[in-house]
Structures are given as C-alpha cells and as structure tokens.
Amino acid sequence: VAESVLIIGGGIIGLSCAWEAVKRGYRVTIVEKEAFGGQASGAAAGMLAPFSENPDGPDPFFQLCLDSHRVYPDWVREVEECSDFSVELCSTGSLNVALHESDLLPIQTRLLWQRKYGAACEWLGAAELRRLEPRLSPQAKGALYSPVEGHVYAPKLVQSLAVACRRAGVKLIPYAGNIERMDIGMASGPSVSMNAIGRITADRIVICTGAWSGMLEEWLPLSIPVHPIRGQICSYAARANDVQHMIFSSQAYWVGKKDGSLVCGASEDVAGFERTVTERGVERLTRWSGRLFPSLQDVRPQRSWAGLRPATRDGWPLIGPVPGSPEIILAAGHYRNGILLSPITATRVGDLLEGRTKLNGTVDLNAFDPGRFTSIAGQLR
C-alpha cells in the first residue's frame, strides 16, 4: 500500500507538491481552509523572472530561482497536458528601464555578473528601446533586456494544477476550516484536526500554508518567522496592451497578458492579514503607469486586487523537514517568487518524501532549512 501524504494549504505550492507526490506514487490528500488558489497564488502577476528579481549576486536563492526557471517550460507542458487547460506561458523577455542616472549603476552591475548564468542580457539605448516598446515614455534612458524571462497567468496555473491533481487521483478538500489541533511524533502517524472536516491521519504531512505558516508554530517544535506582506496590484482594460515585454522600473512592473489587459504591480505593505485595496495603493500604481506610459495618464485601472505574500525573516523560503520530525515537511515563505519556485519546490519535497536529501543541481539547500531560525533549545524566535 502506498504511503499517504497530507498536504495542508491549497495555493500554488501545495498544489504543486500534491501533483509531484501523486506522480511519485503516494496517496495524496490536500486540504485548504477556504477555496483553492484564493490567496497569494491567485493574486500574483505570474512573472518568471529569476534575473530581474535577483539583481545583487549569485546567492543560493538566485540559484534556486534559476533552476526552477530552467524546468518551467517542460513542467507547464506536463500540467497543461494532464489538465487540458492553457496556463498562458509567454516567453516575452523583460526590460528593466532606467529613467534616471541613478538607475544605471544597478543595471550595469547586473549585466556584468548575470551574463555568466545564461541571462543573455544586453543594454539597449533609448532609440532601440523605443523601437521595441513605442508606448514607453521618451524619458526612458535605456533598458536592460533579458530575453529569457516570461510569465504565466497565475489563476489559470492554479486551476490547471487542481484539475491535473484531481485527474491523477489526489483528494482535494476545500473549505476544511482552521486547524484545531496537530499531533506529531505519534506511533500511528501525524494527524491534523480541522474544524469543518474533523481529524485526518497520514504517514507524512507537508505544510504549504503561505503567509499563515507562522500560526503552525503552536503545534511544531520550531520557530516559523513567516509574516504577510500585502501586494496591491491592478490591471488596465484590453485595449491597453500593445506592450510586448515585461517592463520593470525601480517603482513598479507591467505585464501584458494574453487577453490584452496590462497588469501593474505591486505594493509591499505591512498591513497584517488585511487584504483590502487602498485608494493610496492604487493611486501610486496609476501615477507610475502614467509616468512610464504617457497614454495611460489619467486612465483608471479596470480592476484592482491584493494578496498576501509569505515573507520570511531573511527573505528566503523554508523548504525541508521539521528538525527532529522528518515526517513533517515545510514548504512555505516563498515571498515574491512562489509562482516561479513551484516546480523546484515540488521536486525538492518529492525527493524528501522518498528520503533523498540531495537535490540534483547547483543549489545549497542548507540555505532553506526550516530549522535555521530555531536554536537547539527551540527558544530563538
């Protein structure tokens, strides 16, 4: 009989781990306290941007992003084939636009080191930039062009993964409610009691509860310093999109989606678990949209929304077993890059379920050890 795996949390990370586990022969159940994909994963802009998101240097987090980016096209193809659902992967390339002299130095620094890692990036002067993106402001002095970056439509990726999971035999339980109790270290295996569905026991539990992961400290012998960072984001109507590339400025980003809308994000607010959109937040995005694209001056976005990014104290995710309790695996805290990092996280979790401690590739996995914030006595919080 196959071992059973219970995944807690039905965002992109939980669904990716569920799909990986079922493909490796486990009996998988995934419980979500509300609707699948209803939190950060459904709110994301869907950018797959390992180079633009890591301007400073080739640290382990950059390597993790890069490894995930490399496998993305094949991973997406498999999800699409198993769900009959397009996730709208677009390999548009990105442009990091310099509006001021002060934007140039970070771009030059990136150009120097990222080329060694396959970024194939190049500096484009003002004239060439406007040839590629005629709607950009004439104030743009140039841009760093990264041809290999792209994006997916995140809500469709979540939906597609849910369908692929269901077809592969995963039991999906939405609206399971909150955790009332978790027992680990029991001879009968770990178990979780949730107020809408009762108690579930499994051989292993994978915790993928995004920004809410810190709340599980109550049941686990480790410190989980994950906190929510609200991202407010908006989109302009279909006619807005003749922007071909993903555009980054120092203050915001713009992504043209396949349906023709132009998504602009995102704020980084400390607002607890509050998910409302504020007038001030949208006004800031609207102002920057008008500065980068003069045709958007005085245009109101058609839609705005917000999500809670799961941030950790050091900005890097927690991927690995709970110290002393290898039957409990954490996969949380992906902050700004959970959509990009879902395939590599799922592979890592699949390897851990199979008892493999090393991941093929270049990444130093100690950097993401969930125990790194916990002292031996478990008191360092």
Ligand X SMILES: Cc1cc2nc3c(=O)[nH]c(=O)nc-3n(C[C@H](O)[C@H](O)[C@H](O)COP(=O)(O)OP(=O)(O)OC[C@H]3O[C@@H](n4cnc5c(N)ncnc54)[C@H](O)[C@@H]3O)c2cc1C
| Integer CA distances (angstroms), 169 to 25, 28, 202, 352, in order | 10, 8, 16, 21
Per-residue x/- marks for ligand X, 166-185, CB under 6 A?
----------x-xx------
Q: How far is the CB of 266 from ligand X (least distance, A)?
A: 4
CB 246 within 8 A of CB 50: no
Q: How many residues bind ligand X (CB under 6 A)?
A: 43
CB 5 within 8 A of CB 204: yes
Q: What is the DSSP string of 337-369?
A: -HHHHHHHHHHHHHHHHTT----SSS--GGGG-
136 or 285, CB closer to ligand X? Answer: 285
What residues numbered 190-219 form the site for ligand X, per CB under 6 A?
208-212
Q: How far is the CB of 224 from ligand X (least distance, A)?
A: 12
CB 349 within 8 A of CB 342: no
Q: How far is the CB of 282 from ligand X (least distance, A)?
A: 12
Can you tell me which of 3, 27, 38, 85 binds ligand X, judged by CB under 6 A? 38
142 or 152, CB closer to ligand X? Answer: 152
In angstroms, the CA 166 to CA 189 distance is 25
Burial 283-294 (b: 16+ CB within 10 A, else e): eebbebbebbbe
- Report the 3 state secondary structure along 91-108: CCCEEEEECCHHHHHHHH
Alpha helices (runs of H) in the chain, residue ranges in sequence order = 12-23, 40-43, 60-83, 104-114, 126-132, 154-168, 279-292, 338-353
Q: How far is the CB of 210 from ligand X (least distance, A)?
A: 3
Can you tell me which of 281, 320, 338, 350 binds ligand X, judged by CB under 6 A? 338
Q: How far is the CB of 230 from ligand X (least distance, A)?
A: 7
Per-residue x/- marks for ligand X, 270-309, CB under 6 A?
-------------------------------------x-x
83 or 235, CB closer to ligand X? Answer: 235
Can you tell me which of 5, 30, 40, 318 binds ligand X, judged by CB under 6 A? 40
What residues numbered 12-31 form the site for ligand X, per CB under 6 A?
12-14, 31
Q: How far is the CB of 375 from ligand X (least distance, A)?
A: 25
Q: Which stretch binds ligand X (CB under 6 A): 107-115, 198-206, 279-287, 327-335?
A: 327-335
Considering the rule CB under 6 A, would residue 339 count as an interface residue with ligand X? yes
Per-residue x/- marks for ligand X, 132-161, CB under 6 A?
------------------------------
Q: CA torsion 114→116→119→125, rounded to 10°?
A: 70
142 or 231, CB closer to ligand X? Answer: 231
Q: Which stretch binds ligand X (CB under 6 A): 72-80, 290-298, 332-340, 347-355?
A: 332-340
| Integer CA distances (angstroms), 333 to 126, 195, 207, 270, in order | 38, 25, 11, 15
35 or 105, CB closer to ligand X? Answer: 35
Q: By C-alpha distance, which of 239, 199, 221 is closest to 330?
A: 221
In angstroms, the CA 88 to CA 90 distance is 6
Q: In the structure encoding, which two tokens stand for residue 247, read together?
A: 């555009």
In angstroms, the CA 308 to CA 44 distance is 10
32 or 88, CB closer to ligand X? Answer: 32
Q: How far is the CB of 64 from ligand X (least distance, A)?
A: 12
Query: Using CB under 6 A as the criterion, which residues of the chain lie in contact with ligand X when the complex forms?
Result: 8-14, 31-34, 38-41, 43-47, 176, 178-179, 208-212, 231, 233, 265-266, 307, 309-310, 332, 334-340
